[in-house]
Amino acid sequence: MSELKNDRFLRALLKQPVDFTPVWMMRQAGRYLPEYRASRAKAGDFMSLCMNPEFACEVTMQPLDRYPSLDAAILFSDILTIPDAMGLGLYFETGEGPRFKKTVRTAAEVEALPIPDAEKDLGYVMDAVSTIRKELNGRVPLIGFSGSPWTLATYMVEGGSSKDHRLAKALAFNEPHTMHALLDKLAQSVTTYLNGQIKAGAQAVQIFDTWGGALSHNAYKEFSLNYMQKIVNGLIRENEGREVPVILFTKNGGQWLETMADTGATALGLDWTTDIGNARQRVGDKVALQGNMDPTMLYASPDRIREEVKTILAGFGNGSGHIFNLGHGITPEVDPEHARAFIESVHELSAPYHK
């Protein structure tokens, strides 16, 4: 594999000195970009985009070509590839988000679920990773990712998106054995899936726990964090002569940062509801921090965006260990020039913190 020309992102994850605070955006290849919309139209639909390694590579590269200041690429895929590979039949309804043809709500249905083989059942993802790594040619590191077991389980039980996760929570509270059996299978599946991505060339991985923050304090530890811990324990942590950092991101998870930092993850993603300075005091030197501008700030003027970047950089303070990001994914209606103002102001304003 080619030598990395820009390893700022990986160095910051390991709290090593950097010249600027590195920056990337969750969902940086997405509908806010006209070139992405053109690729998606050409592919036919979202799943065809995900399942074709050439298309996945094309859209992964688009934000890097538009914004040369980005410090990382993230694999273009979907968090629901694992349940799809388990035979649940993922499809997308316009305006409704992801849906499954089959749900998982009983012990027998959990028992019947296979643990997907990363190479055979999800080979198209591994092909996308290796295709993107070749195309990047050492320009920036490539991030692989997966949904967390709890987040995947909510979609599998509900049959799609849900505002209150009523069915998933009812299963967890009424039949904890069944939910734990499902989460255990998912933890095994995510571990082999992420390890497959690392072997194919992902240089860091992120676990997206989108719905962990919907749980109560004790339920979060029992049904979400426990299973992310199992994954962290089972991941390949060195490849190609480098450490492979692991980022845990629980949306609305600011109250659990100390216990998340105890998992052995390299970094924690923060949403915008947590003050980054306070988070840094709480976790100390245990982990790097990633985040955490409110994505809707990108609807503000470039000057206002710049002010917010300045505030967050000052909040984190001096030294390495901060990867600048949004507190969640960029939204489709954002003006691409506002994203540019965000990305460029991070490099421009962060140099004094790394003297």
Active-site residue 78, yes or no?
A: yes
Active-site residue 32, yes or no?
A: no
Contacts 24+ apart (CB under 8 A), 86-92: 86/113, 86/114, 86/115, 86/116, 86/156, 86/189, 87/113, 87/114, 88/156, 90/47, 91/47, 92/45, 92/46, 92/47
Binding site for substrate, by residue number, is 27-31, 78, 155, 210, 328
Q: Which of 27, 66, 99, 242 is catalytic?
A: 27
Query: Which residues are registered as beta bridge partners of 206?
Result: 145, 247
The string of DSSP letters for 212-223 reads GGGS-HHHHIII
Of the candidates 208, 111, 192, the residue with the CA atom closest to the CA atom of residue 155: 208
Active-site residue 40, yes or no?
A: yes
**Residue 224 CB burial class (10 angstroms; 0-12, 13-18, ≥19):** buried
Of the candidates 333, 347, 342, the residue with the CA atom closest to the CA atom of residue 305: 342
Encoded tokens for 111: 């028992």
Q: Which of 7, 71, 78, 271 is catalytic?
A: 78
Beta strands at 73-74 and 142-147: parallel, antiparallel or unpaired:
parallel
Q: Which of 36, 155, 193, 227 is catalytic?
A: 155
Active-site residue 31, yes or no?
A: yes
Query: Collapsing DSSP states into helix, strand and coil, what is residue 133?
Result: helix
The secondary element (H helix, E strand) that includes residue 292 is: strand 288-293
Active-site residue 282, yes or no?
A: no
Task: Give the residue numbers annotated as catalytic, written as ranges.
Answer: 27, 31, 40, 78, 155
